[in-house]
């Protein structure tokens, strides 16, 4: 374990249980339908890989990469770095995220995808930090709610490190990004631009 890691918050076994439960719920809810899982890169790729194997439905997968534009305004705008390869019109879309923090990324992603006329849109996240929410967003499937701490592992990174940890860990507070820098530190891409 690295010096920066304070403790393990979610074990491999707990993660496996979360994926199995979410997979069961999704399978039940979408009976008779086909679902398109949309992985929000990069963080969600590990979760998507586990989740999809717990879903017993006809599935398609597509990937999208977005960067958060945020300045002083809480509205935040999301820029598409990599768009979907497929047309989602008329399809049942399930957005798969690693973690919901302020909610800004998902709010904008959901609004953007809604303009493409899918049959439905739902959101599934592995982890949720409800205390950090800046905008209201309904999340249909939540793996686990966690306290307001910076986590890494299971696809989640700190400056591109730790994505390969098989469990979720909390970092020491001197290595976790300070709050005013967190937009940069938590971004999935290097492209974070103030909107002013």
**From the candidates 50, 101, 157, 188, which is the catalytic residue?**
101
User: What does the alpha-carbon distance between residue 151 and residue 95 come to, in Å, rounded to a whole number?
Assistant: 21
Judged by CB, which is closer to Mg ion: 121, or 126?
126
- Minimum CB separation of residue 57 from ligand IMP in Å reads 24
Residues numbered 150-189 forming contacts with Mg ion, rule: CB under 5 A: 188
Indicate if 87 belongs to the active site.
Answer: no
**Residue 43 binds ligand IMP, judged by CB under 6 A:** yes
Judged by CB, which is closer to Mg ion: 183, or 188?
188
Q: Which long-range contacts (CB under 8 A, 24 or more apart) does 119-122 make?
A: 119/90, 119/91, 119/92, 119/93, 120/92, 120/93, 121/93, 121/94, 121/95, 122/92, 122/93, 122/94, 122/95
What CA–CA distances, in Å, run from 125 to 19, 31, 145?
10, 20, 10
**Residue 100 binds ligand IMP, judged by CB under 6 A:** yes
Candidate residues 68, 118, 124, 153; the one interacting with ligand IMP per rule CB under 6 A: 68
Judged by CB, which is closer to ligand IMP: 91, or 105?
105
**Residue 98 binds ligand IMP, judged by CB under 6 A:** yes
Name the site residues for ligand IMP (rule: CB under 6 A).
43, 68, 97-105, 150-152, 156, 186, 188
């Amino acid at each position: 374990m690295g010096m920066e890691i304070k403790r393990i918050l979610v074990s491999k076994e707990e993660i496996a249980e979360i994926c199995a439960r979410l997979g069961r719920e999704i399978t039940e809810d979408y009976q008779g339908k086909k679902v398109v899982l949309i992985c929000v890169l990069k963080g969600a790729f590990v979760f998507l890989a586990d989740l999809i194997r717990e879903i017993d439905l006809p599935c398609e997968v597509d990937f999208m990469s977005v960067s958060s534009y945020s300045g002083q305004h809480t509205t935040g705008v999301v820029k598409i770095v990599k768009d979907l390869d497929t047309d989602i019109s008329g399809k049942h879309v399930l957005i798969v995220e690693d973690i919901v923090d302020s909610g800004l990324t998902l709010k904008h992603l959901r609004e953007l995808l809604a303009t493409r006329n899918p049959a439905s849109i739902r959101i599934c996240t592995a982890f949720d930090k409800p205390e950090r929410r800046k905008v209201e967003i309904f999340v249909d499937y939540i793996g686990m709610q966690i306290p307001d701490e910076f986590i890494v592992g299971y696809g989640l990174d700190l400056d591109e490190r730790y994505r390969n940890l098989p469990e979720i860990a909390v970092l020491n507070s001197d290595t976790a990004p300070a709050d005013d820098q967190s937009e940069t530190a938590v971004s999935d891409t290097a492209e974070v631009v103030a909107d002013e």
